Structure 1
């Protein structure tokens, strides 16, 4: 079972800490690295955590 408290980074809009519970999409980029889109619980935007 995934750890929903694992930190993904911060929202680039409001600097809120994002955790795995907010992941919407996980994907593989062309360079082989993992990309993530998550919903920010504070500003409610869909963002790529930084």
Structure 2
């Protein structure tokens, strides 16, 4: 699990950095990789960080 100050990636909507504290859902994809959904604090969109 990421620490609160680590980054999940960038918002696919606005490009701002999303901190791990904004994580909403962690899941396993069909191909075996992990995926996440997070809320962007800047634009308030729910995205899969890039």
- For the residue of structure 1 that corresponds to 2:38, the secondary structure is strand
Query: By how many angstroms is 1:12 displaced?
Result: 0.7
Query: By how many angstroms is 1:3 displaced?
Result: 1.1
Query: By how many angstroms is 1:19 displaced?
Result: 1.1
TM-score (normalizing by structure 2): 0.92
Q: Structure 1 stretches (4+) deviating beyond 6 angstroms?
A: none
Aligned length: 50
What is the rounded CA distance, in whole Å, between the counterparts of 1:2 and 1:43 in structure 2?
22
- For the residue of structure 2 that corresponds to 1:24, the secondary structure is strand
Give the aligned partner of residue 38 of structure 2.
38
Unaligned stretches of 5+ residues in structure 2: none
Unaligned stretches of 5+ residues in structure 1: none
